[in-house]
């Protein structure tokens, strides 16, 4: 189902006109109400009246995660606090969190965006939407919740954790849609497999909306098979509002961006220049409707490309191609660029291994070490190392050939790698960078 055909299927020329109109308004607000943007634009010699078309967006300054932290908590806000209705914040691995504030209009627009994604799974009255994203400062829980409400569905706010109870409620309340991180969904699927009382085929679950971390096709296939569902990717980031900046349609061929609200660009992360249409680079977003905290050209660090062709689903909204990783998550090990998501993608090629993994990077005798913990599935596991050899060799060869680096692979017993209830943590980088960076 297409929730808002007028916006999702708008002819591209018309969409450009709407984007131009909204960009001009956003830039004017930023210049007049947010000293941070006035300073940046003055320094570049740009005035709001220089922006007359959406193409002029490349003249505008970028915003980075560091800018958001420097302006913590409300330095980027364009409205008085009396107009703010909610505050969210990302957990942030170091230092101050990234803050997002919302007017009532912002909250309504956000619910609309999430509703567009949920509508792909035909969510409506009578559907029980189990929201197993964390509720709280994290945008996942309340974001998915408000989207489900917008469609008239039944909201089941289980939040994350307490997996036994999640599964019991899923069965007893007849959950039809699950919203959570893909890693938590996988954990729930494993719990269902082990359960004596709950069987996946007896659940009413038919669709899952998974996001907040990158996931591979292997994980998708695994979730679809284990939970008997269609697994839909929901994309978003706190800086732009939260989940629902875009989402997949039923064809799962890229992630549609709700372009009437968020304008995506791809830039070369080195030169900061726009790349040619369709080329890979860093994804950048400008908010076109946000009132409380409008953001110009936010550098997401996500590496991907944009697909402009009209989709088979009828939507004209541009699609984000596969996200290859985040430039932030990239590990440089012995001079080689390694994305943790590559490891996951390789693991899912081998049926004997579970997709769970943990990478430990360290530096010993001036050389980087790369240790990879993996798990065999219960039916393939044996405590006898000799019996593990037939499994480990092909995996090791594949890792070496794809990544160009030799890991120390350790096989652990089933279910010994810690499962996550929120965003999965896959890496411990113990190296001390302070000496050489
Ligand atoms: Zn589509």
Residue 236 pLDDT = 93
Least trusted range by pLDDT, from 79-88, 247-256, 307-316, 347-356: 347-356
Are residues 227 and 205 in contact, defined by beta-carbon separation less than 8 angstroms?
yes
Distance between CA atoms of residues 304 and 247, nearest Å: 15
More confident residue, 300 or 436: 300
pLDDT digits (tens, 9 = 90+) for 419-437: 877 777 888 888 765 434 3
Residue 91 pLDDT = 66
The backbone torsions φ and ψ at residue 386, rounded to the nearest 5 degrees and listed phi first, read -60, -35
Q: How far is the CA of 96 from the centre of ligand 1 (A)?
A: 37
* Predicted confidence (pLDDT) at residue 328 exceeds the cutoff of 70: no
More confident residue, 42 or 435: 42
Residues lining ion ligand 1 (Cβ < 5 A) are 249, 311, 313, 315
Q: How far is the CA of 114 from the centre of ligand 1 (A)?
A: 15
Residue 385 pLDDT = 84
* Predicted confidence (pLDDT) at residue 386 exceeds the cutoff of 90: no
Among candidate residues 246, 11, 218, the one with its CA nearest the CA of residue 118: 246
Residue 330 pLDDT = 73
Residue 208 CB: number of other CB atoms within 10 A?
Answer: 26
Report the range out of 93-102, 115-124, 401-410 with the highest average pLDDT: 115-124
Mean pLDDT across the stretch 341-360? Answer: 89
Residue 323 pLDDT = 79
Mean pLDDT across the stretch 298-310? Answer: 92
Instruction: Read off the pTM.
Output: 0.84
Residue 88 pLDDT = 96
SS3 69: helix
Q: How far is the CA of 9 from the centre of ligand 1 (A)?
A: 10
Q: How far is the CA of 256 from the centre of ligand 1 (A)?
A: 7
Q: How far is the CA of 112 from the centre of ligand 1 (A)?
A: 17
* Predicted confidence (pLDDT) at residue 365 exceeds the cutoff of 80: no
Q: How far is the CA of 255 from the centre of ligand 1 (A)?
A: 8
Q: What is the CATH number of domain 331-435?
A: 3.30.300.30
Print burial letters for 230-253: b (CB count within 10 Å at least 16), e (below 16): bbbbbbbbbbbbbbbbbbbbeeeb
Q: Where are the domains of the chain?
A: 1-326, 331-435
More confident residue, 34 or 310: 34
Q: How far is the CA of 316 from the centre of ligand 1 (A)?
A: 8
**Mind giving me the DSSP string for 109-152?**
HHHHHHHHHHHHTT--TT-EEEE-SPPSSSHHHHHHHHHHHHTT
Q: How far is the CA of 265 from the centre of ligand 1 (A)?
A: 19
Q: What is the CATH number of domain 1-326?
A: 3.40.50.12780
Distance between CA atoms of residues 305 and 308, nearest Å: 10
More confident residue, 213 or 290: 290
């Amino acid at each position: 189902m297409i929730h808002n055909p007028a916006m999702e299927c708008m002819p591209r020329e018309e969409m450009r006109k709407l984007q131009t109109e909204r960009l001009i308004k956003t830039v004017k607000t930023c210049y007049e109400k947010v000293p941070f943007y006035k300073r940046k634009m003055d320094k570049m010699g740009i005035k709001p009246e220089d922006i007359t078309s959406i193409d002029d967006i490349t003249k505008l300054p970028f915003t980075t995660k560091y800018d958001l932290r420097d302006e913590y908590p409300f330095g980027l806000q364009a409205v008085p606090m009396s107009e703010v209705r909610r505050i969210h914040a990302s957990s942030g691995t170091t230092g101050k969190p990234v803050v997002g504030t919302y007017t009532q209009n912002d909250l309504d627009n956000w619910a609309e965006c999430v509703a567009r994604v949920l509508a792909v799974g035909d969510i409506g009255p009578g559907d029980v939407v189990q929201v197993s994203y964390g509720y709280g400062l994290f945008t996942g829980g309340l974001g998915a919740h408000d989207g489900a409400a917008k469609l008239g569905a039944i909201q089941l706010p289980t939040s994350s954790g307490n997996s036994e109870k999640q599964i019991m409620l899923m069965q007893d309340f007849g959950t039809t849609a699950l919203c959570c991180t893909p890693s938590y969904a996988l954990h729930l699927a494993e719990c269902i497999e082990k359960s004596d009382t709950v069987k996946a085929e007896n659940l009413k679950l038919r669709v899952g909306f998974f996001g907040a971390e990158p996931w591979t096709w292997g994980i998708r296939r695994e979730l679809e098979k284990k939970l008997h569902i269609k697994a839909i990717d929901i994309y978003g980031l706190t800086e732009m509002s939260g989940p629902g900046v875009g989402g997949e349609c039923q064809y799962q061929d890229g992630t549609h961006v709700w372009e009437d609200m968020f304008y995506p660009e791809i830039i070369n992360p080195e030169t900061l220049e726009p790349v040619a249409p369709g080329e890979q680079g860093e994804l950048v977003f400008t908010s076109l409707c946000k009132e409380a905290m409008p953001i110009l050209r936010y550098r997401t660090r996500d590496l991907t490309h944009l697909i402009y062709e009209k989709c088979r689903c009828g939507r004209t909204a541009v699609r984000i191609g596969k996200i290859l990783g985040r430039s932030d998550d990239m590990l440089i090990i012995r001079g080689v660029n390694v994305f943790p998501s590559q490891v996951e993608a390789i693991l899912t090629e081998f049926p004997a291994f579970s997709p769970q993994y943990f990478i430990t990077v360290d530096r010993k005798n001036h050389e980087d070490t790369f240790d990879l913990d993996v798990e065999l599935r219960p039916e393939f596991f044996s405590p006898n190392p000799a019996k593990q050899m037939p499994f480990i060799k092909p995996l090791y060869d594949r890792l070496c050939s794809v990544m160009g680096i030799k890991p120390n692979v350790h096989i652990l017993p089933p279910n010994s790698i810690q499962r996550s209830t929120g965003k999965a943590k896959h890496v411990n980088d113990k190296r001390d960078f302070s000496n050489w960076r």
